[in-house]
Amino acid sequence: MTSRTRFRAVVVLLIAAGAICAAAGVARAEKVSLRLKLAEGKTYNLKMTAQQKISQTIGGRKVDMDQTLGMGYSFAVTDVDAEGTISAKVTYDSVLFRQKGPTGTVEYDSAHPTETVNPMAKAFAAQLGQSFTLALTPEGRITKVEGVDKLFAHVLRSMDIPAGPQRDALEKSLKQQFGDQAMQDSMEQLTAIYPDGPVDVGDSWERKVTMAKGFPMQLENTWQLKSRKDGRATIDVKSKISSNANADPISMGPVSLKYDFNGEQEGEIVLDEATGWTVSAKTTQKLTGKVNVKGAPGMPAGMSWPITIESTITLESSGK
């Protein structure tokens, strides 16, 4: 082979290598559109478990409590409109409540039910098999929730509290903490995670979720697409959390309660790219602040005490 021929061969190889690298670059730059794309007539399942360590110092006395709350949901898709908005019936398939503190241990597990239910766990046990409906956009925003008032009317009846001021106060508190708006805020924590447009590995986006009811708080979430493999997208999340200063206090009869706290959250979520549905997720969360109480008997001026909450929250899909 002459020197000129060798030179031409090298040039051809360099051009070919450049073309291969360019093609690889194009493949690496391919973006994915992460959206909820659920199918009408199908049911999607999700189990949420929150394990919490709660530490408070009340009147100089340290009070520690371990608490676990687990909820299994089935989302039966009843309609998907032309814009992709999903209507679904959400049913509680499983319920777990476990609390260990100074007064002892309370536990209810729908997978292993007992003949009698501790009065402190009745409100959780009564949710098993109950349903409500919601509508959510492909971006994970919940636009409507209906049927929660009926659900918690059933919960209230299960608690066997006779008619009177105590029952009226509890009913008002349940509606405030767990009504349609509270449920919308709570569920949107699980669903409002999708970017505005297609993203590539390394891209990040932000979402702010504000909860006005239940446990009022604001989450400023930053999501980043970490990797893609076998039709699944792995996303990292970091969040700044603060109490919602504009939310009304939680009313419990004459007593009102308000939280003032700040904290952080971080974790990872795995999505199925075809449907946008959560395959699994795990986040850790730490909140520190204080509890402010007014209206309690014998404390006309009110009181406050410090609180720390450390949580590990997991999500797991059990398939379609």
- Residue-wise pLDDT for 76-130, tens only, equals 999 999 999 999 999 999 999 999 998 899 999 999 988 888 888 888 899 999 9
- In terms of pLDDT, which residue wins out, 135 or 207? 135
C-alpha–C-alpha distance, residues 186 and 183, integer Å: 5
* pLDDT the model gives residue 72: 95
Side chain identity at 105, as an amino acid letter? T
Please give the average per-residue pLDDT across 26-39, as a whole number.
Answer: 80
Closest CA to 98 of 152, 159, 53, 47: 53
* pLDDT the model gives residue 237: 96
- In terms of pLDDT, which residue wins out, 8 or 181? 181
Residue 116 is classified by DSSP as S
SS3 9: helix
Side chain identity at 285, as an amino acid letter? Q
pLDDT band for position 319 (cuts 50, 70, 90): low
C-alpha–C-alpha distance, residues 80 and 31, integer Å: 25
C-alpha–C-alpha distance, residues 122 and 198, integer Å: 45
* pLDDT the model gives residue 8: 44
* pLDDT the model gives residue 176: 66
pLDDT band for position 24 (cuts 50, 70, 90): very low
In the numeric block, which tokens belong to residue 318? 């059990």
Closest CA to 76 of 44, 47, 48: 44
- In terms of pLDDT, which residue wins out, 320 or 221? 221
Topology annotation, domain 35-316? Lipovitellin-phosvitin complex; beta-sheet shell regions (2.30.230)
pLDDT band for position 185 (cuts 50, 70, 90): confident
Winning range, highest mean pLDDT, from 4-13, 21-30, 256-265, 290-299: 256-265
C-alpha–C-alpha distance, residues 47 and 116, integer Å: 25
Q: Are 148 and 132 in contact (CB under 8 A)?
A: yes
Please give the average per-residue pLDDT across 208-218, as a whole number.
Answer: 77
What's the Cα-to-Cα distance from 84 to each of 33, 36, 173, rounded to whole Å? 14, 8, 35
- pLDDT at residue 141 greater than cutoff 70: yes
- pLDDT single digits (tens) 251-306: 776 778 888 899 999 999 999 999 999 999 999 999 999 998 887 776 666 889 99
SS3 123: helix
Token match 């995670």: residue? 193
232-243/204-211 β-pairing: unpaired
* pLDDT the model gives residue 300: 63
Number of Cβ within a 10 Å radius of residue 99: 21
pLDDT band for position 213 (cuts 50, 70, 90): low
SS3 37: coil
* pLDDT the model gives residue 14: 37
Token match 């549905």: residue? 277
187 sits in which H/E element: helix 180-191
Does the CA dihedral 193-195-200-204 come out positive or negative? Answer: negative
What are the extents of the domains in the chain?
35-316
